[in-house]
Structure 1
Amino acid sequence: MAEKILIVEDELTLQETLAYNLKKQGYLVESAGDGPSAIVKAKQYQPDLIMLDIMLPGMDGFEVCRILRKDMLVPILMLTARDDEIDRVVGLEVGADDYLTKPFSMRELIARIKALLRRAKIMQEIHPADAQDRKVYKFDNLVIDENRREVMLNGKPLNLKPKEYELLLFLGQHQGQVLSRETILEKVWGWDYFGDSRTVDVHIRWLREKIEEDPAKPKRIITSRSAGYRFEG
């Protein structure tokens, strides 16, 4: 069955161009031109991927992403007109999976979409028979339940974004090992991810703010100078 993509873009010419090219690739496409209608269509249409412009009338893309992330795990590719690191960091912080700066080539866009959909499919294709092979990782007052995709700290659930959870799980699975940023990027984001290693640093910082007693003096996630990170548990 063809995968569904929701395009959220207020510039009509670009919206129609994107829709035309994605349909040529065999995708089913719906479009929205402002923030509020994007939220409504996303919940009604249940797309497999959302392309989300940052600058939107009614509500910007950051807020749309933040709202959708509360109950949807669909991959979100954010579009920005500026090559601004702040936009990229904020986009990741509110739950976006990737970002693309305008103007971009259709070839690069299609490659990003395919990579995001491929990773999402891998995550979804976890068979029930595998449940008994998954584990619960306990590190004192921190518990990672791989089966439930849940993290508990001091007996209370932590509200982690999908990539924060996947990163913490990967670190927990390799307790005591020094992991390079490149290794983490490949294993957590995928070898075909187009971002750079700064993405890892940003997510490590967010995790520290949630699981460390003093994020400025971390005892769980240790920086190994010039090498990467080591999870002590």
Structure 2
Amino acid sequence: MVAVAAKNILVVDDDAKIRTLLRRCLEGDGYSVVEAHDAQTVRAAFAAAHFDLVTLDLNLGVEDGLDIARELHRDQDVPIFMLTGKDDVIDRVVGLELGADDYLTKPFHIREVLARVKSVLRRSGKRDRDEEVPPPGPGAEDPWLSLDGLKVKLDRMLLVDRDGQECDLTTADFKLLAAFLDHAKKPLSRDRLMDLIDGQSWAPLDRTIDNQVARLRKKVERDPARPLLIKTVRGVGYVLTEAPQAMQG
């Protein structure tokens, strides 16, 4: 069996004890780990290496973890796993709006950290080092889907716009698009959408889904200011107004 290189993870936290704990546990699970304690060391780490995932503490003392998340989302194609304080609801919501893939509140259990790290890597299309994936047989791949001039490949997490250009979607954006495609022409409440894309409980006044829909509309609508593909259903939520069609060939 061909050996597979360990996934590289950047652990960002201003608490040296937490960094050490995360590094030891992740390395014990077979990952390669680099530590960083602020924005400057994060930039230096990315200048020196490629990372498959970043664990990011949002409370970095004088540093703002949200600013780092914003910078990573803008400049790096890397999944972000946020670590937040129990009461940091607003920061958590903003972080998810910026494209973070998952979060966990402190104090955390290290086994849950490891499980969530594997889940984020798997959802982002990156395989864990121990997984052996057989080549797909005939007809095993999902077909290309056509939707109002767009092309979507669910199993490869690809969206091609009407000009033939591949769109840059976060994992959260694509999960939302997949939820709409699976429930085309069916109105979905905000709670139902949250359950479909994350399977987590959310506060009643949480507006994260509205922001995610607004961001997705910018990628799929012909005129995001007048959305016709993903429409608001007053008092309910949202609906994808057209059903995707499988493309031939």
**Shorter-chain TM-score range:** 0.7 to 0.9
CA RMSD, aligned part only? 3.8
Q: Which residue of structure 1 aligns with residue 170 of structure 2?
A: 161
* Counterpart-to-counterpart distance in 2, 1:43 and 1:154: 33
Q: Is the 8 A contact 2:157 2:174 kept in 1?
A: no
131 and 152 in structure 1: CA distance in 2 versus 1, 3 angstrom threshold: farther
Shift of 1:33: 1.0
Q: Which residue of structure 2 aligns with residue 98 of structure 1?
A: 102
* Counterpart-to-counterpart distance in 1, 2:102 and 2:60: 18
Counting only pairs closer than 5 Å after superposition, residues 142-153 of structure 1 correspond to structure 2 as: 143-146=150-153, 149-152=158-161
Task: Determine if the alignment matches structure 1 residue 5 to structure 2 residue 12.
Answer: no
Q: Is the 8 A contact 1:95 1:161 kept in 2?
A: yes
Q: 1:134 is aligned with what amino acid? A: P
* Counterpart-to-counterpart distance in 2, 1:157 and 1:121: 16
43 and 195 in structure 1: CA distance in 2 versus 1, 3 angstrom threshold: farther
Q: 1:207 is aligned with what amino acid? A: L
Counting only pairs closer than 5 Å after superposition, residues 74-93 of structure 1 correspond to structure 2 as: 74-93=78-97
Task: Determine if the alignment matches structure 1 residue 19 to structure 2 residue 23.
Answer: yes
204 and 32 in structure 1: CA distance in 2 versus 1, 3 angstrom threshold: same
Q: Which residue of structure 2 aligns with residue 119 of structure 1?
A: 123
Shift of 1:195: 5.5
Task: Determine if the alignment matches structure 1 residue 135 to structure 2 residue 144.
Answer: yes
Q: Is the 8 A contact 1:112 1:194 kept in 2?
A: no
131 and 110 in structure 1: CA distance in 2 versus 1, 3 angstrom threshold: closer
SS at match of 1:150: strand
Q: Is the 8 A contact 1:53 1:61 kept in 2?
A: yes
Consecutive unaligned residues of structure 2, counting only runs of 5 or more, are 243-249
Q: 1:176 is aligned with what amino acid? A: K
Shift of 1:202: 4.3
Shift of 1:51: 0.5
40 and 136 in structure 1: CA distance in 2 versus 1, 3 angstrom threshold: farther
Shift of 1:7: 0.5
Consecutive unaligned residues of structure 1, counting only runs of 5 or more, are none
* Counterpart-to-counterpart distance in 1, 2:213 and 2:106: 28
| 1:108 equivalent among 105, 112, 124 | 112
Task: Determine if the alignment matches structure 1 residue 177 to structure 2 residue 181.
Answer: no
Q: 2:46 is aligned with what amino acid? A: A
Q: 1:103 is aligned with what amino acid? A: P
State TM-score, norm by structure 2.
0.69
Shifted more, 179-188 versus 168-177: the winner is: 179-188
Task: Determine if the alignment matches structure 1 residue 61 to structure 2 residue 50.
Answer: no
Shifted more, 164-173 versus 194-203: the winner is: 194-203
* Counterpart-to-counterpart distance in 2, 1:181 and 1:130: 34
Quick one: percent identity of the two aligned structures?
35
Aligned residues: 227
* Counterpart-to-counterpart distance in 2, 1:173 and 1:151: 18
Q: Which residue of structure 2 aligns with residue 41 of structure 1?
A: 45
Shifted more, 101-110 versus 88-97: the winner is: 101-110
Q: Is the 8 A contact 2:15 2:37 kept in 1?
A: yes
* Counterpart-to-counterpart distance in 2, 1:103 and 1:109: 11
Shift of 1:143: 2.2
User: Comparing both structures, which one devotes a greater share of its residues to helix?
Assistant: 1
Shift of 1:10: 1.0
Shifted more, 93-102 versus 104-113: the winner is: 104-113
Q: Is the 8 A contact 2:124 2:171 kept in 1?
A: no
148 and 71 in structure 1: CA distance in 2 versus 1, 3 angstrom threshold: farther
